[in-house]
Structure 1
């Protein structure tokens, strides 16, 4: 089979690519070719695999050429992040909405020419939920909670969910949208996502650096580890149409945790000195965005696919430490 991962050089995309290559199969078929498309080239280990092909550049510019390429499956992860979309409205529309429409039309063209519908998994977001004066957000957002996004990023993700559902209804694709929880702990440096601090308050202290937390320790949010996120994307792809149930998006599993509990877990795993490197300094812009996001989420449909969240945040921190075993600079704050 031939697969495409958009955003495949990014953190989640690259991890997904490695997981698929290690498995060698997906939905019972052997993976012969994996196309990784992103603004930047993927890491050397991915490029070294003979099954990997790369497409470098803005995805919107690549979609015309993709019309001529047959794909059995697509994982569409490419996206501008939340903070970018609030700061640059046109960027969000172009990167999230226009690009997704162009990709869907490339797949539609092949189906209309007689090819079988390509199976597509779209990485949506918990940011599709938000508080609206007419439709108050429940304490726990579920698969069937009415999405009322309060950010441009969440709005663009929701529009894409609905487009994918309609292209699926028309038989142009076999689409499934999975709402990702905030993925933490991400390696590297902070990005423009409003949720970036959820990783930063763990990552930087472990590296021996100060981290600034822009929100109160009482802020609660649904999160997931990188590995559980990748497992969820693969399970959604492999689910039968009947098991996925309908065409609407589902929530991936969430560990519902407060910022203070995250720091308690950091202290339990790494010690008080590491925790003390986190300083609270409120950022009204970030705090305002996060205040419009869900505090807790459930995932009943994902559970029926066999997916479960982590048991505690300490396990997520340990996963990050294990992932960084080959990069001791990332853990120099542990004093090892």
Structure 2
């Protein structure tokens, strides 16, 4: 099995590659080759015994996508994107990376299909940002997409392209709408949703964090560990039950910022909570107000996708996976 990971230097790309290296298989198939692609140099996962090829390139530059699919990977994991806040601020860059890059990748796959009947499994990382207000308190699987951010529009278009290219038989694709990933390791990024992780990750490390929105803000979350599980399952599952509805809203946990903070208090104590500083940001508040807060995700659950059921679990996953099981405060 040959797996291509586009966005391999990002958090999910690195964690997915590490999972593949640790397991040595995906589903029941041994993984013998990894092709890792990103705009910054990706690093081969420790312990992987197969062949590793790395490319540092911009998927939106003509010719780059052809390099990616030249080795005819069996699974294409498309995780590359610029984040929501940056896509909103820089209109041209957002569409170039998040839309043009995706279209060029799908076109390169189609061209190879026309030459050799190549038809890989393509997993497209989409987002709950494809939904915009007004929406019900809990969004069902039949609810329509009305994105209110450029990032959400770009992801929604990617979903439609994936379905059409799959319907024509150029690839066997699935788009998965990931919950907001929390707690993201590392340092704060430009995502409008970054504070959901910041207010937990930084205090757990003994650092101050800024909270830009009200504690009543509710959102939909899953841990990085759960997200990697989503990717593995999407890469290996039988897609026949989906028909041509190739997009799934995935399971997660609905929680308010206040509930996040109380979970932090239970796990790490009052001192950690005291490191959260309130600093309202109207731009972030406006963006987040247009995002959904909870999903039924019945189709995805029935197909075997699973996530955490409490925020205490999400915090504990971060402590185990990123902090060696030890809280700094």
Measured against the shorter chain, the TM-score band is over 0.9
| 1:156-176 deviation line (CA, Å, top 9, x unaligned) | 000000000000011111010
- 1:231 aligns to what? 229
2:311 corresponds in structure 1 to 313
Unpaired segments of 5 or more residues in structure 1?
A: none
Q: Deviations over 1:11-50 (max 9, x none)?
A: 0111011112222222432211011111122346449754
Which residue does the alignment assign to 1:5? Answer: 5
CA distance in 2 between counterparts of 1:27 and 1:211 reads 39
- For 2:55, the equivalent position in structure 1 comes to 55
Question: What does residue 33 of structure 2 align with?
Answer: 33
Shift of the 54–326 alpha-carbon distance from structure 1 to 2, 3 Å rule, reads: farther
Partner of 1:211: 209
* Of 155, 163, 166, the match for 1:165: 163
Q: Is the 8 A contact 2:5 2:79 kept in 1?
A: yes
> Is this contact kept in 2: 1:208–1:274, CA < 8 A?
yes
Residue in 1 aligned with 2:87? Answer: 85
CA–CA separation in structure 1 for the residues paired with 2:68 and 2:245: 24
Deviation at 1:143, TM superposition (A): 2.3
Q: Secondary structure at the match of 2:232?
A: helix
TM-score (norm 1): 0.93
Matched length:
327
Cα distance in structure 1, aligned partners of 2:45 and 2:67: 26
Q: Does 1:74 align with 2:76?
A: yes
The match for 1:260 is 258
Instruction: Give the equivalent residue in structure 1 for 2:297.
Output: 299
Deviations 1:204-249 (A, max 9, x none): 1111111111111000000000111111121122111223343331
Structure-1 residue corresponding to 2:116: 114
Q: How does 1:136-175 map to 2 (within 5 A)?
A: 136-175=134-173
1:49–1:286 distance in 2 versus 1, CA, 3 Å: farther
CA distance in 1, matches of 2:156, 2:278: 32
Q: For 2:51 and 2:140, how far apart are their aligned partners in 1?
A: 38
Larger displacement relative to structure 2 (221-230 or 305-314): 305-314
Match of residue 42 from structure 2: 42
Give 1:326 shift. 4.7
TM-score by length of 2: 0.95
RMSD: 1.7
Q: CA deviation at 1:64?
A: 3.0
Greater mean alpha carbon deviation, residues 158-167 or residues 63-72: 63-72
Distance 1:151 1:327, change over 3 A: same
Conserved? CA contact 2:75–2:121, under 8 Å: yes
Q: Which runs of 5+ in 2 are unaligned?
A: none
1:195 match: 193
Aligned match for 1:241, one of 234, 239, 242:
239
CA contact (8 A) 1:129 1:141 kept: no
CA distance in 2: counterparts of 1:316 and 1:206, whole angstroms: 13
Range with bigger deviation, 84-93 or 25-34: 25-34
Check whether the contact 1:175–1:247 (CA below 8 A) recurs between aligned residues: no
Distance in 1 separating the partners of 2:117 and 2:78: 20
CA contact (8 A) 1:141 1:298 kept: yes
Deviations 1:262-298 (A, max 9, x none): 0000000000010111122210000000000001122
Q: How many Å apart are 1:104 and its aligned residue?
A: 0.5
